[in-house]
Amino acid sequence: MPGSASGNHARGWLAASGADYLLAAVLFALPFLIGGSWTFALGICFANSIGVLAVSVLVRYGGEVSIGHSFFAAVGAYAVAILDTRYGLSLVASLPLALVLGTVCGVAFAWPSRKLSGIYLAVSTMALALAVPELINNADWLTGGYEGLYVSQSVIPGVEASLQRYYAGLLALIAVVYGLRRLRHSRQGLTLLLAKQHPAAADAFGTRQVWARIAVMGISGGIGGVCGAILAFAGSTVSPSSFTFWTSIFLLVGSVVSFYGLSLTRALVGGAFLTLVPQFLSASGAWIPVLYGLALLGMILIGHYLPRIRSFLFASKGGA
């Protein structure tokens, strides 16, 4: 029945929103219950979660896969590090610049590649990831080259640095999730989805698929820039080794693990898989790649069969 379907959708949306609010409340209180090393790890986790959202929004709204988002993260990270090191500006001033630069780079990349899709677009984004370390090293007069740059400016003077790095990442992640939620329920968001799923219908309403894809890449690149900015601030250093081809691969893995979800809970699942799972496996030595691969396979299988298990349980309760 249409009414029951819409009711189930509404209840599912409310449940997801409630879970996000509860999770956010727990995360705000968490630094007072855990040690400093975990506070640092979670700050990096929040940054990686933002990167997962950057890749996921491209999949959800553009129907495309990127393996080059380390480029946009590097743009945001070095914007923060350069303004901090050269001009003494804090994250408050550099974060908006990271967002703008990431968006501009996303649009600049999308325009010449607007005719590409599928594997061809994915391979073209790979070129960005492969070029990042060399670009950083060749501009060593600005980026510090192999040695990198140190980020030391406080957002709020007098507040413990570890807490600033933790809460800056958490607030940025919540802001990105909120922005994507507003996009999802906006006219512009529906237009982007229409251009992805029904290009002919979108053209009839005056929205060309090409322009929609450029807009989605701009949004995704901007979020990637925010990811890099928070990585720089939370980690306090930036260097070429932080933005390699494998960085892009892991962001894509995190997006897959989160099943391209745009909620706080889903993003944190992807970010935690990138940040915390390797930390738990650090004592496994040569078995780390095997165990990580098994964990990845397990997450994908759980996500694949979870809806069926849930439907079975609900059907059993209804029958009882």
pLDDT single digits (tens) 159-204: 888 899 999 999 999 999 999 999 988 888 877 877 777 666 666 5
Q: What are phi and psi of 68, to 5 degrees?
A: -135, 20
49 touches 271 (CB < 8 A): yes
254 touches 51 (CB < 8 A): yes
C-alpha–C-alpha distance, residues 217 and 251, integer Å: 16
Beta bridge partners of 149: 238
- Mark the ranges of the chain whose per-residue pLDDT is less than 50: 1-14
Beta bridge partners of 190: none
Spatial CB neighbours of 234, under 8 Å, sequence gap ≥ 6: 40, 43, 44, 46, 47, 165, 166, 168, 169
Q: What are phi and psi of 41, to 5 degrees?
A: -60, -40
C-alpha–C-alpha distance, residues 282 and 180, integer Å: 34
What is the value of pTM for the model shown? 0.87
Report, at the CATH architecture level, how domain 34-280 is classified.
Orthogonal Bundle (1.10)
Q: Please choose, from the candidates 199, 217, 218, the residue with its C-alpha nearest in 3D space to the C-alpha of residue 208.
A: 199
Predicted confidence at residue 319, as pLDDT, reads 53
Cα–Cα distance list, 300 to 93, 108, 244, 258, 295 (Å): 39, 34, 25, 9, 9
Spatial CB neighbours of 178, under 8 Å, sequence gap ≥ 6: none
C-alpha–C-alpha distance, residues 223 and 225, integer Å: 5
C-alpha–C-alpha distance, residues 227 and 125, integer Å: 17
Residue type, 7: G
C-alpha–C-alpha distance, residues 168 and 163, integer Å: 8
Q: What are phi and psi of 162, to 5 degrees?
A: -65, -40
Mean pLDDT of the chain: 83
Predicted confidence at residue 256, as pLDDT, reads 87
